[in-house]
Structure 1
Amino acid sequence: MNYSEIHEKLKSITASSIFSRLFRWSRITLKIGELSNLIESLVINNSRISNELENLKHKLLDLETNFQTEKKINQKLETEIEIVKNKNELLNPLKLKNTELLTELNKLKQEELAKDAKRDSLMNKWEQFQTNAEQRERKKEEVEEQKRHEKQEQIKRQWLNHEENVNNLIKIICNEKGVEFIEKDKWPYKKQPDNIIKICDEYIVFDAKSPRNEELDNFPKYIRTQVDTLAKYAQHKDVKKQLFLVIPENALHVIQNKTYEDSNYCVHVISPQSLRITIWSLKQIEHYEFAEKLSPEDRENLARAFAGSMNYIKRVIQINSDMNEHGIELTERMLQLISKKSLNSIRNKALEYEKGDIVNASQQRGGKAIDLKEESTRQKDIKSKAINHEIISTPKSSSKKIDLNND
């Protein structure tokens, strides 16, 4: 209820007539009571409003205080924001630099990943290459071991059949040279050598000996023992005091001393390859009617020719063996040089050319003797060509030669 209502009620009370006041007082008192209630209500409301107003003032004061505080805070924040903005402006170049560094870092990471991948690929290739190399090496070792085994087996077979091979070879040479081969049943004495030939009514003994196993360390000692046992043949008057031990060619290199001399006899260690020239040299004695008619000079020349022939044959055999071994090594090296995949075409062409390449060595036919003068002329021609092409140097001094035409 507002003040206009109170004003209306007061106005209706004051405007009432005496008649109304006398007869209608109850109504007036009722209005006065309502008016009193209204005033009381107004007072209460006013008091309440005053209290609320006071509270609002306190709140307003608090709000003002808070506002000032917040304002200060806001100013401080604005100041800090301004500082941050300034710092942010200072950090912008660093941000750009950081971006550049991040880009560079990512680039380096990509390069590192690429390097890692390349390294892994190279490592895989290397491991594969190493594995292949090890496999090739193992295969090479296996092949070499197989070759060594086959060579040892071949040597063993050769040594096992040595006595029989020497016997057959001596028979063939005797048949070619017209030398008498003495069978064992015609040997007049009890103890029989392996092979006997007869020249100028003298028995010449050729004993075949071979290593007992593949180890050659004890073979020289064994040969020395066999030299001593040959004394049982040399004691007979009709047995030539020059005796021969025939050993395999591949065992000859371990025998340092090829000639053993005793007071009553002499033993020569030879290989099967020397049998032909040895028997030929012994056969030359038959060119004289009687051996005892040889003059001392002829005997000396014959001995020197025989010794020279023996040394020449042994050296040729030794040199050929060394050259063959070295030639095999050089051939293996050349094949290794062109064994790469990139050189397969060259290797294949080389193998094709090799099939058509022929080395035509001089051939020897039966029934025809080798002309020494012709061979000497051919050798001089080859030597002259070698000197002209500077393959060999001109010899400063000539070696001594044996006069083969000396009668």
Structure 2
Amino acid sequence: MDIIILFILLILLAAVVFLITRKKDGNSELESNIEEERHKNSDLEQKLAAKEVEINTLQRDIDIANTKLDEFGQIKTEKIQIAERLQNIDRERNQLKTKITSLEAKEESRNNELKKSLEKSVSLQESLEKEKERLNDERVKEKEIHYEKMKKKWAEHEKDIEFHIKMICKNHVLKYISQEQFPYPRNKPDNTVLISDQYIIFDAKSPSNDDLDNFPSYIKNQTDNLKKYAKHKDVKKDLFLVIPSNTLKVIKQLTYNMGDYNVYIISKEAIEPIIISLKKIQDFEIVEKLSPEERDDICRIIGKFAHTTKRRIQIDQYFADEFLDTLKKAGSQLPKEILKSVIEFEGAEKLNPPMEKRNKQILTKDLIEKSTQIKKEIQIRDIPEIQANIEFVEEENSD
């Protein structure tokens, strides 16, 4: 703006110089020129005023432009800052996007695993339900089979007790009284054993069905019905009701005192001990009737059995010690290769002694025949008889 004003002043100065120079040429011309110059000055002043207005407008525009430029610089700075923040936000967005993608992948994997686990759980639940149903069916079936067996066992209870008592009487040389042999015609017990000239009654009772709730009442009523046997003089006043072993748990009272007689509720397993106890009482009564000579003979035989048994145990113990000592020496003194072969042969050997069978007596006659047979084989094979020189240390208080 200062440059423009200076330029205008220079123009004015040039014009004045020009006018002064022309003045020298003539006043008239000067005056005309002055008038002309006035017009020009007037025009120039108007132009100068217009220029000043224009200059002021331009200056104002420049100021506005500078202000806008400053604002633009601030906007540019803000833009740069916003661009940087945008880059950071974009970077964070990408990171979050990557993280979200990873989380979604993990979530999908977890959902798949959860789905598989759920399917397995459902499958396992179904398997468990099926297994539960199968077990329940098996339990129900086993229970039905158990009840069927119980019913069958209860149905065969009387025959089973009869056979069992007959075998006990046979083993202990007692007389079994069947229903046909019972001396009183109207009242016939299931099983009777004659001991010391008294009839021992064993009446077998069993439930009619698998409902055991009424069985105790039934047994209690049966104790009254035994009066028909107890009224006879030669019937022992201790009577026995034999029930299945698996029904004992529902019977709360096992003995009944009926005044003139007693009733005992027992199972099959208790029959033999009771009969043996009653037989011992009979044996004691028989012993009292023996003469002194008969008692001595019995005591002599029992004493011989006791001495022979103890002697055999003593000899077996001696040989057991000798065998153990020999085995120890074999383990420590034999060469390793021979000992190894011995152990292999030992593992291949097997002894099969005669088996003992229930209800089969070991007869003395069979033992004597076997001993005679062995002696004959020894003679046939010319096996020399072994003279055993064994000395036993007698105890001071020998039996």
Q: TM-score, normalised by structure 2?
A: 0.52
Aligned to 2:361: 367
Structure 1, gaps ≥5 residues long: 1-71, 294-361, 370-407
220, 227, 234: which one aligns with 1:224: 220
Structure 2, gaps ≥5 residues long: 1-64, 290-354, 364-399
Q: 1:87 to 1:291 in 2, by over 3 A?
A: same
Q: Distance in 2 between matches of 1:89 and 1:150?
A: 87
Per-residue Cα deviation, 1:158-209 (whole angstroms, up to 9, x for no partner) = 0011111111221222222221122222222211111122122211111100
* Deviation (angstroms), 1:282: 1.7
Aligned to 1:88: 83
Aligned to 1:251: 247
* Deviation (angstroms), 1:216: 1.4
Counterparts of residues 131-142 of structure 1 (less than 5 Å) = 131-142=126-137
Q: Distance in 1 between matches of 2:268 and 2:151?
A: 16
Q: TM-score, normalised by structure 1?
A: 0.51
Paired residues, number: 230
Counterparts of residues 355-394 of structure 1 (less than 5 Å) = 366-367=360-361
* Deviation (angstroms), 1:367: 2.9
Aligned to 2:207: 211
Counterparts of residues 239-388 of structure 1 (less than 5 Å) = 239-289=235-285, 366-367=360-361
The one-letter amino acid paired with 1:183 is S
* Deviation (angstroms), 1:210: 0.5
* Deviation (angstroms), 1:291: 10
Are the counterparts in 1 of residues 178 and 192 from structure 2 also a CA contact under 8 Å? yes
Are the counterparts in 1 of residues 177 and 194 from structure 2 also a CA contact under 8 Å? yes
The one-letter amino acid paired with 2:271 is L
Q: Distance in 1 between matches of 2:210 and 2:123?
A: 40
The one-letter amino acid paired with 1:260 is Y
Q: Distance in 1 between matches of 2:224 and 2:242?
A: 15
Q: Distance in 1 between matches of 2:92 and 2:180?
A: 114
Instruction: Give yes or no for the alignment of 1:167 onto 2:129.
Output: no
Secondary structure in 1 matching 2:164:
helix
Aligned to 1:233: 229
The one-letter amino acid paired with 1:133 is L
Aligned to 1:378: none
The one-letter amino acid paired with 1:136 is E
Are the counterparts in 1 of residues 177 and 192 from structure 2 also a CA contact under 8 Å? yes
Aligned to 2:101: 106
Q: Distance in 2 between matches of 1:101 and 1:363?
A: 88
Per-residue Cα deviation, 1:203-225 (whole angstroms, up to 9, x for no partner) = 11111000121121221111111
Secondary structure in 2 matching 1:153:
helix
108, 122, 128: which one aligns with 2:123: 128
Q: Distance in 2 between matches of 1:274 and 1:171?
A: 15
The one-letter amino acid paired with 2:270 is S
Q: Distance in 2 between matches of 1:90 and 1:273?
A: 99
Are the counterparts in 1 of residues 192 and 199 from structure 2 also a CA contact under 8 Å? yes
The one-letter amino acid paired with 2:181 is K
The one-letter amino acid paired with 1:367 is Q
Per-residue Cα deviation, 1:277-318 (whole angstroms, up to 9, x for no partner) = 22222222331456998xxxxxxxxxxxxxxxxxxxxxxxxx
Instruction: Give yes or no for the alignment of 1:192 onto 2:188.
Output: yes
Q: Distance in 2 between matches of 1:88 and 1:236?
A: 126
* Deviation (angstroms), 1:262: 2.3
Are the counterparts in 1 of residues 165 and 271 from structure 2 also a CA contact under 8 Å? yes
Are the counterparts in 2 of residues 246 and 270 from structure 1 also a CA contact under 8 Å? yes
* Deviation (angstroms), 1:152: 0.9
The one-letter amino acid paired with 2:123 is Q
Are the counterparts in 2 of residues 285 and 291 from structure 1 also a CA contact under 8 Å? no
Q: Distance in 1 between matches of 2:287 and 2:245?
A: 32
Q: Distance in 1 between matches of 2:232 and 2:241?
A: 18
Q: 1:273 to 1:79 in 2, by over 3 A?
A: same
Are the counterparts in 2 of residues 200 and 290 from structure 1 also a CA contact under 8 Å? no
Aligned to 1:312: none
Q: Distance in 1 between matches of 2:84 and 2:179?
A: 123
Are the counterparts in 1 of residues 178 and 190 from structure 2 also a CA contact under 8 Å? no
RMSD: 3.1
Q: Distance in 2 between matches of 1:104 and 1:142?
A: 54
Secondary structure in 1 matching 2:202:
strand
Instruction: Give yes or no for the alignment of 1:179 onto 2:183.
Output: no
Q: 1:90 to 1:268 in 2, by over 3 A?
A: closer
Aligned to 1:116: 111
In percent, how many aligned pairs have the same letter?
A: 36
Q: Distance in 1 between matches of 2:264 and 2:176?
A: 19
